[in-house]
Amino acid sequence: MRLGLFLLATRFPGQDDAAALSRTVEAAIAAERAGFDDVWFAEHHFMSYGVVPSGTVLAGHVLAATGRIDVGTAVSVLSTQHPVALAEQAAMLSLLSGGRFRLGVGRGGPWRDLEVFGTGLDRFEHGFAESLDLLLAWLKSDRVGWSGEQFSFREVPVVPRAPVPPPVTVACMSPETEALAAARGLPMLLGMHAGPDEKAAAVARHGLPDAPHISTHVAQVADTREEAVKTVMAEMPRWLAPGLEGYVAVDDRPRRPRDPVGYTRLMCELHAVGSPDDCVESLVTTVERTGIRHLILMVEAAGSREATLENIARLGADVLPRVRSGAPGS
């Protein structure tokens, strides 16, 4: 069983970017102190929903500030960067940290990032499989040359070379991506939008149930479920609403806006929001229904630095040991 944090690095109302980044680093260090196994950083551009444009850069900073905890990206977006450049960064971080770096990758979305970085819709719509294959080849080889639809170059040496490549996980939001991950023998990273039954179905479709899949959850602990839900419902829509405005399609395709209040209510229904007993039961239920034994928890829902740090400490003390023992009622 592995239990980690998933940090969005959201800019809360009234904060600037420096405060959001400082809070995120502080939360990652607090996660190590609270006994979590790993911490994962989201990557976004041009939006307050997440102010980290490079998960690998922040991972390097946090790896240098910690000594035990693993640090990963959830996820590095392959549609907006060159897979060789990302593989070089991943290998370097793995070497510098003694193997504590983990690489999560994903397709991303049809957002304006594709225009700004010049990769275009074709990379998003048709290039993910080739990008993933090139990244994996680079991480596992001494020399690589490539001839494909998206990339083509003569053979070059791989430097730096990590003898043990960092683990790679693929964010999956469709059966097509699940099948792609399975064909490469890679585990899935499953998001907060799905409940345990949906995640169990994804594991079944993937076909490799024993792969080290990762399940993402909202986690907010309080003395009672009523108190925790009240806090999340009051605070999460305040930072979620302006953050979601950052998702702008590159080609101005229509996009149905997500209701922040409705989405927050769904998070409370699906995830570990409640008393310590409620949180343990929710997380253990996911493990039992899906077989996934690596859970990462989004702990920033309450919308402040102080509430985030308090949530991390209390989850570490009152929830993590019981989830690891698989004992919802102990």
- pLDDT (tens digit per residue) in 278-318: 999 999 999 999 999 999 999 999 999 999 999 999 999 99
Cβ(209)–Cβ(284) below 8 Å: no
Q: How many domains does the chain have?
A: 1
Residue 237 maps to which CATH number?
Answer: 3.20.20.30
| The pLDDT of residue 328 | 55
Q: Is residue 238 situated within a structural domain?
A: yes
Dihedral over alpha carbons 85, 90, 92, 97 (to 10 degrees): 160
Tell me whether the omega of the peptide bond preceding residue 52 falls within 30 degrees of 0, making it cis. Answer: no
**Which letter does DSSP use for residue 111 in this model?**
B
Q: Is residue 6 situated within a structural domain?
A: yes
The parent domain of residue 276 ranges over 2-325
| The pLDDT of residue 205 | 97
Percentage of the residues of the chain whose pLDDT score is greater than 70: 99
Cβ(60)–Cβ(17) below 8 Å: no
| The pLDDT of residue 329 | 46
Sequence length of the chain is 330
pLDDT-based confidence at 326, cuts 50/70/90? confident
Q: Is residue 320 situated within a structural domain?
A: yes
pLDDT-based confidence at 255, cuts 50/70/90? confident
CA 31/CA 70 separation, integer angstroms: 10
What three-state secondary structure class fits 215? Answer: strand
| The pLDDT of residue 327 | 56
CA 127/CA 135 separation, integer angstroms: 12
Nearest alpha-carbon partner for 214 in 315, 106, 107, 81: 106
pLDDT > 80? residue 127: yes
Q: Is residue 127 situated within a structural domain?
A: yes
Write out the two tokens for 315. Answer: 């989850």
- pLDDT (tens digit per residue) in 194-229: 999 999 999 999 999 999 999 999 999 999 999 999
- pLDDT (tens digit per residue) in 162-178: 999 999 999 999 999 99
Determine which helix (DSSP H) or strand (DSSP E) holds 156, and give its type and residue range: strand 152-157
User: Which residues partner with 70 through β-bridges?
Assistant: 38
Tell me whether the omega of the peptide bond preceding residue 254 falls within 30 degrees of 0, making it cis. Answer: no
| The pLDDT of residue 257 | 83
Q: What mean pLDDT do residues 56-72 have?
A: 98
More confident residue, 287 or 253: 287
pLDDT-based confidence at 330, cuts 50/70/90? very low
Write out the two tokens for 107. Answer: 């397709």
Q: Is residue 330 situated within a structural domain?
A: no
CA 323/CA 318 separation, integer angstroms: 9
